[in-house]
């Protein structure tokens, strides 16, 4: 017959097993990871990307046609000149946004997150986050229902809490590669079908 102490010990062990996370991972932040995240955020909307790609292609083709088939540059009509200048301005804005602004934005963001350590514990019904920064340590518990949408790519998980903000978790942060698959199945199980999307996996 079990004693009270044995029963209590077995109960404590059972409770300890219940609260063990399904997956636990420690992630660090680097310029490369943040820049990849920034570009993913820009290009994750395929419809918008397709629109800008078509628009830029039309502008480039139009410019080629104007320069190759049109009159010499110094004989241009004012309307032609306006279109040419507008096309160059729009293309310049797109290039500046992608090639210049994104790396600059990431460098500014990295200054406030330099040396940041993100400890993530994924339980059956919630995520526990312990974030260590230069300022201090913050802890938060997030239910899976709070996530706006989750993306999985070949290199990372992007857990969006709204349309802009979220948690970046790169797959090279996992010590055990099997944990990547475990986390994928957990998130698929907890999220509605339209809120867990795989890109290029």
Q: How does pLDDT run across 122-138, given as a tens digit for each residue?
A: 999 999 999 888 788 99
- The domain tally of the chain equals 1
- Average pLDDT of every residue of the chain: 78
pLDDT at 5: 52
3 found inside a domain? no
pTM above 0.85, yes or no: no
pLDDT at 123: 94
168 found inside a domain? yes
45 found inside a domain? yes
50 found inside a domain? yes
For residues 87 and 55, is the Cβ–Cβ distance under 8 A? no
**What pLDDT, in 10s, does the model give residues 82-118?**
777 777 787 778 777 777 777 777 667 666 666 688 9
**What is the span of the domain harbouring residue 142?**
20-198
Q: Among 11-25, 48-62, 185-199, which range has the highest average pLDDT?
A: 185-199
Q: Is the pLDDT of residue 81 over 90?
A: no
Residues 166, 5: Cα–Cα separation, whole Å: 45
Residues 6 or more apart whose CB falls under 8 angstroms from that of 21 comprise: 121, 122, 123, 128
pLDDT at 90: 78
In terms of DSSP H, where are the helices of the chain?
4-18, 31-43, 46-69, 78-95, 102-113, 178-190
For residues 22 and 187, is the Cβ–Cβ distance under 8 A? no
Q: Between 40 and 5, where is the model more confident?
A: 40
97: alpha, beta or left? (left if phi > 0; alpha if psi -120 to 50): alpha
8 found inside a domain? no
5 found inside a domain? no
Q: Is the pLDDT of residue 143 over 80?
A: yes
pLDDT at 6: 47
pLDDT at 114: 64
Residues 15, 182: Cα–Cα separation, whole Å: 22
pLDDT at 14: 46
DSSP-assigned letter for residue 191: S
180 found inside a domain? yes
10 Å CB burial of residue 152 (0-12, 13-18, 19+) is: buried
Residues 50, 60: Cα–Cα separation, whole Å: 15
**What pLDDT, in 10s, does the model give residues 28-58?**
877 788 788 877 877 777 776 777 777 777 7
7 found inside a domain? no
């Amino acid at each position: 017959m079990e004693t009270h102490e044995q029963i209590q010990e077995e109960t404590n062990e059972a409770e300890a097993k219940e609260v063990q996370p399904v997956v636990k991972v420690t992630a660090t932040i680097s310029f490369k990871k943040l820049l990849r995240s920034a570009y993913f955020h820009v290009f994750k909307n395929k419809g918008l990307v397709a629109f800008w790609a078509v628009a830029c292609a039309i502008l480039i083709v139009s410019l080629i046609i104007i320069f190759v088939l049109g009159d010499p540059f110094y004989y241009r009509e004012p309307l032609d000149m306006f279109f040419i200048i507008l096309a160059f301005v729009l293309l310049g804005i797109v290039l500046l946004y992608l090639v210049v602004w994104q790396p600059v934005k990431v460098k500014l963001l990295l200054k406030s997150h330099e040396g940041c350590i993100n400890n993530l514990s994924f339980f059956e019904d919630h995520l526990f986050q312990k974030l260590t920064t230069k300022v201090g340590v913050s802890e938060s518990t997030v239910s899976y229902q709070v996530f706006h949408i989750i993306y999985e790519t070949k290199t990372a998980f992007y857990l969006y809490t709204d349309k802009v903000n979220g948690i970046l978790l790169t797959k090279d942060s996992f010590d055990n590669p099997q944990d990547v698959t475990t986390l994928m199945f957990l998130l698929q199980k907890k999220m509605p079908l339209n809120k867990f999307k795989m890109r290029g996996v």
